Chains A and B, each alone.
Chain A
Amino acid sequence: MKERERRIHEAFKNAYAGAECEPLAGWEKKVLEEIEADSDRTFFAELGEALTWRFTLAPSLAAVATLLYLLTLPDMTSSLLGATAQVSVLLLVN
């Protein structure tokens, strides 16, 4: 690099280091809004997950458990009673 170019480069480095930009009033509004929206999204996502578990996965598991129970026990009456108890317990747990 020639002397003249080196000087221009130095002046550029100084301009670079001295770059300033003062935040304008109200700049943070968008950030706060986004944070608010993100919190709402998180809340609804968690609620959605909980509802999915409560109304889809838990009953499905209960149904599978009931079926297995019915298949393993020969006495139908006790099987039905046992299955009902299992479903109730599963739903209560969840």
Chain B
Amino acid sequence: MKEDLELIRAITGGEREQFEELMHRYQRLVFMTVAKHVPQSSVEDLAQQTFISAYKALRQFRGESSFAVWLTRIALRRCCDFWRGQERRREINESSLTKEQKEWVEKAGTGEAFAGAENEDRKHTAREVLHIVLGKLPPAERMAMCLVDFEDLPVKEAAEIMGCSITLLKVRAHRGRKKYRKLLEEISEEG
């Protein structure tokens, strides 16, 4: 099996059909990365956009980081673009929690919901509640906060991904965090 760099050289040298091999190697990574940041219904589309962007920028890949890291950064940038697009036609997500979701919050609050043995339904509910909460944050603040607090990325890298200054990234993450905590308080009471 060819190494990534070898494969990339072949693709940029004209063997573009080899890109399919690269896609198969990294499809799971891209889908998982994107799934963390955007609604389920947009995951496939953004994963496709990630690979298209990667193909177009492949000549710029110098191998300074691993291909996986390089590709992850592209995927995260596409997610940022997605939320920037949403900001323009943003609809405030006012949906309140269903009975099942409230139950999950109740259990999460007592430390019971994530005891390591959650079934698929509960995991699904957890993601639904998380999406509802994050959906109430302004997209740029949501993305900044997720990259720093959930993804544990260094501020500098998060700023590079979002294409903004470190200061702006910090401001956005801080505002997002503040709103997120307020939302946590609200759902904590609701649950």
Interfacial residues, chain A to chain B (CB-CB below 8 A)? 1-2, 4-5, 7-24, 27-28, 30-32, 34-35, 38-39
Contacts and interface: CB of A to CB of B under 8 A. Distances in A.
A9 B184 contact: yes
Given A11-B108, A19-B36, A35 B126 contact: no
Interface of B: 16, 19-20, 23-24, 27-28, 31-32, 34-36, 40, 43-44, 47-48, 51-52, 55-56, 105, 108-111, 113-114, 123, 126-127, 129-130, 133, 146, 150, 181, 184-185, 187-188, 191
A8 B56 contact: no
Closest 6 CB pairs of A and B: A15-B126, A21-B35, A11-B108, A4-B109, A5-B184, A19-B36
Contacts of B188: 2, 4-5, 8
Label chain A's interface by main secondary structure: helix
A21 B72 CA distance: 15
21 contacts: A2-B188, A7-B111, A8-B105, A8-B191, A11-B108, A11-B114, A12-B133, A16-B146, A17-B150, A19-B35, A19-B127, A20-B32, A21-B35, A21-B40, A22-B28, A23-B28, A27-B44, A32-B20, A34-B48, A34-B52, A38-B55
Contact of A14 (B114, B185, B191): B114
A15 B19 contact: no
- Mostly, the B contact residues are helix
Contact of B19 (A9, A13, A35): A35
Contacts of A4: 109-110, 188
A27 B47 contact: yes
A5 B109 CA distance: 6
B69 to A, nearest CB: 18
A82 to B, nearest CB: 43
Contacts of A20: 31-32, 35
B44 A23 contact: yes
Given A28-B20, A28-B23, A11 B126 contact: yes
Contacts of A32: 19-20
